[in-house]
Amino acid sequence: MAAVRADEIPVPRGRPRPVARLRTWLDRESVLGPVLVTPAMLLLVLLVAYPFVMALYFSLSNAFIGRPSHFIGIRNFVHLWDSDAFRQTFQNAFVFTGIAVAFKVVLGIILALLLNEQLWFKRMIRGAVLLPWVIPTALSTLGWWWMFNSLYSVVNWTGLALGLMDPPGPNWLGQRYYAMAAVIIVNVWRGLPFFAITILAGLVAIPKEIYEAAHADGAGANARFWHITLPMLKPVLAVVVLFSTIFTFSDFNIVYVLTHGGPINSTHLFATLSRMLVIDVGRLGEGAAVSLYLFPLLVFVVWAQLRFVRKHAN
């Protein structure tokens, strides 16, 4: 049934006053719709799209803070490959993202399965699990910085006390592989709640009947997990992994606070390297080029999400 829209309501007899006419005109979908989205659109055009075009321009120029710039084509993107710092960063970004996301997926599924059981303090446990995700990352990473301190590390103290480490224990933030491990640990710590809670929402949505039927057919717990739970979770997992990949890849806070990219660039990510190039050295063009290396991944994730969302909506 067609709805009666406000602009189809008969206008009272006589010449309507201008204010009333403006009101009816404004009430049309084709007018009101654009009016309502204009503030958001202006914001996105002026403060997202325009800066993005600027970033493109900077990356194609030899811009240096406080100096006029010239167009130099894709030379920045090519030159970066001559720099050890950039090649190291490129490798770090994939190692960091790959390992962190893998841990978050596996631990997230385990945690969600546990949270999906009958629990005594359900609300409190959920609250505790989600806490790392709500606290300001820069501040909680300070706590981790202290926990990894070279002299007073509580991690090492515990490891030594339990006999898991040889004295004096690793210098977490001063050795390259340990520093990378530390950065990954903090990222997993902070990202795990998002995975667990979202996967839990996916678990809750799986109809109980399927499990009952499988149980009646004699499927064990293992079979039920691999043949029902995991396939049914696939859509949720896909969204979470895509989402997390982009935000892990572009992480800034954890690396900046914990290691500043060191030791010797071994934990730099695109965001921290580009900030260092621009703020500390002043090379705006190169810095912009570094951060634009994030862009292809972003395009892929957006494409995958849109495809996925569309498929899901139909």
Partner 1 sequence: MTVARRPLMRRVAIHLGLLPFLIFALFPFYHMTLTSLKQDRELYDRFAVPLIITQGPTLEHYTKLIWDTEFLTWTKNSLMVTILATAISVVIGTIAAYALARMRFFGVGAFGTGIFVTYLVPTSLLFLPLAQVVNWIGLADSKWALVLTYPTFLVPFCTWLLMGYFRTVPKEVEECAMVDGATRVQALLRIVLPIAIPGLVCAILFAFTLSWNEFIYALTFTSSSDQITASVGVTSELIRGDIYFWGSLMAGAVLGSVPIVILYVFFLDYYVSGLTAGAVK
For the bound state, the minimum distance from the C-beta of residue 3 to partner 1, rounded and expressed in Å, comes to 5
Q: Tell which residue, 193, 287, 207, 198, has the closest CA to residue 238.
A: 198
For the bound state, the minimum distance from the C-beta of residue 128 to partner 1, rounded and expressed in Å, comes to 6
Residue whose CB is less far from partner 1, 179 or 278: 278
Residue whose CB is less far from partner 1, 179 or 192: 192
Residues 6+ apart with CB under 8 A from 281: none
Burial annotation 16-39 (CB, 10 A radius, 16+ → b, else e): eeeeeeeeeeeeeeeeeeeeeeee
Residue whose CB is less far from partner 1, 180 or 290: 290
For the bound state, the minimum distance from the C-beta of residue 181 to partner 1, rounded and expressed in Å, comes to 15
For the bound state, the minimum distance from the C-beta of residue 122 to partner 1, rounded and expressed in Å, comes to 11
For the bound state, the minimum distance from the C-beta of residue 290 to partner 1, rounded and expressed in Å, comes to 9
Residue whose CB is less far from partner 1, 83 or 149: 149
Residue whose CB is less far from partner 1, 140 or 266: 140
Residue whose CB is less far from partner 1, 183 or 301: 301
For the bound state, the minimum distance from the C-beta of residue 220 to partner 1, rounded and expressed in Å, comes to 15
Question: What tokens does 153 get?
Answer: 């590390």
